[in-house]
Amino acid sequence: MTMKYGAITLLLTLLTVLSGCARMVAGSFIRPTLANLQRQTDIELVCEGTPSFLLMMDSMLASSPRDKQLLLTATQAFSGYAAALDECNRPERAVTVSNKARLYGMSLLWNGADPQEVSTLPLADLEQTLAELDRSRVDHLFWAGNGWSTWIRHQQGSPASLAQLVRVEQIMLRVLELDESYYHGGAHLFLGSYYGSKPKLLGGKPMTSRAHFERALALGKRQFLPALVLYARSYARMAFDRELFVKLLEEVLDFPLESRPDLGLANQLARRQAARLLEQTDQFF
């Protein structure tokens, strides 16, 4: 008990110190730590270690709530951890974690505005805000949209949350206008999933979806494995294309993780998802 209490005291002391000099440590400590997390292939280690990092981010942002660099890093970290929680066997935590991803992501564009107010902005107002942002803000745009979509994904299909997807769509379309290659063609991946996960009768656009996925794969040189998994899970499954579904997932499993150490975590998570999806092939087709 004494050791545990001492460790907690040390952590709280560290958080207090860091929150008082957030700008100074963001570049020298926070960003390298996030980069190291992204290189990990030991999922269990990430599951155990990430909460302390997120707690530290929360503490620093409590004293510097409009620091864009901290907000960007926090949005990336909370979005990534929400995506990993199924593999951490903690899916119940995803709602709370994704709430933070949305909050910090929206703050990148709307300076701490209430998420409810942002989510009900008239589309014309949203489009005006997006039009005013240039290429220097493409990272803020993408991660704001990613944090928002992360939250939507964990709202158990509620109609109110799904209605907000059209706003994320507008953000990602603006990302494409400014820099389609950003984050391995991430805007293409969102749009491919968005247009491909619905049947035509409900507004799905299968050919548009496929074009977005193919473009993302070209931009990422087929090395960002989540793109292949999303392609299989969204487009191939909805189009009942078993051959493509299997081919994409087998490509994921055959990919040598060591060839892209900077994508270690994302690619390892994708491999686990691909293995599970392959086992379910006969259920889907």
CA dihedral of residues 109, 190, 196, 119 (deg, nearest 10)? -20
Over the stretch 29-71, which tens digit does the pLDDT of each residue have?
677 777 777 888 888 888 888 898 898 888 889 888 889 999 9
What distances in angstroms separate CA 158 from CA 63, 131, 153, 201, 279, one per listed residue? 33, 29, 10, 20, 28
Over the stretch 222-260, which tens digit does the pLDDT of each residue have?
999 999 999 999 999 999 999 999 999 999 999 999 999
Mean pLDDT score across all residues of the chain? 88
Over the stretch 129-177, which tens digit does the pLDDT of each residue have?
999 999 999 999 999 999 999 999 999 889 999 999 999 999 999 999 9
Domain boundaries, the chain: 180-285
Residue 254 amino acid letter:
D
CA atoms within 13 A on the CB side of 162: 8
Instruction: Note the pLDDT of residue 29.
Output: 61
Residue 126 amino acid letter:
L
> Which numeric CATH code is attached to 180-285?
1.25.40.920
Contact between 105 and 77 under an 8 Å Cβ cutoff? The reply is no
